Amino acid sequence: MIGILGGTFDPIHFGHLRPALEVMAYLDLREVRFMPCHIPPHRRTPLASAAQRCAMVALAIADQPGFVLDARELGRSGPSYSVDTLRSVRAECGPRQPVCLLMGMDAFAGLRSWYRWEEVLSLAHIVVAHRPGHLASCELEDWVQPVYTEQPARLRERPAGCVLFHAVSQMDISASEIRGLLAQGDSPRYLLPDAVLGYIAAQGLYRGAQS
């Protein structure tokens, strides 16, 4: 069973990494694929280039077994739609491999705005990481009910089609916060890996930029 975590990763930080590690352990995932997007459909254009964001992800996950960089979205033109990515992954791993799309509660709550969102569950399970004690209601509540499970084993029994929520360590960190600190000349140390921070300094990223 594999996990997929997409994002702009502009830059990647511990708010991405720690929840991914906890979900990987909880579901006993063989790997988690970090997929930097090319053009985010629901966010502003990243400030760092595709190559820079790819390099930061590679540095961030280098010493964690099971964390893998997957740059397939950067090779596609146009917006990075999850349904297209999942079709590509499904074609690669076959029809029987369980695939889990990892996301946070905010992304899940906005799922109806995604391109061809109704097709996502035909291609993967959805695993929603949320803060402990914070399983907020969202507009998909009625739709989720028939496919909801609390049992990780159910995700192994089929390749796609389930929604599972999992509480992870609360880490109130955002890439925009980190960019803002750097733009002001302040240090974001301990919000992201030192290797990533060193790369940002070497590349002169986010200096004077609007977060």
pLDDT tens digit sequence for 131-184: 776 555 455 567 888 999 999 999 999 999 999 999 999 888 999 999 999 999
DSSP helix, strand, coil percent of the chain (3-state; round to 5): 40, 15, 40
In a domain, 139, yes or no: yes
Contact 186, 149 (CB under 8 A): no
pLDDT digits (tens, 9 = 90+) for 10-39: 999 999 999 999 999 999 999 999 999 987
In a domain, 207, yes or no: no
- Predicted pLDDT of residue 107: 87
CATH, residue 128:
3.40.50.620
Report the helix count and the strand count for the chain, using DSSP H and E. Answer: 9, 6
In the chain, the percentage of residues whose pLDDT exceeds 70 is 93
pTM for this model (two decimals): 0.91
Residue 79: domain span: 2-171
In a domain, 205, yes or no: no
- pLDDT band for position 79 (50/70/90)? confident
In a domain, 41, yes or no: yes
**Residue type at position 37:** C
- Predicted pLDDT of residue 42: 62
Which is nearest to 66 in space by CA: 2, 13, 148, 112? 2
- Number of domain units in the chain: 1
In a domain, 17, yes or no: yes
In a domain, 93, yes or no: yes
In a domain, 72, yes or no: yes
In a domain, 115, yes or no: yes
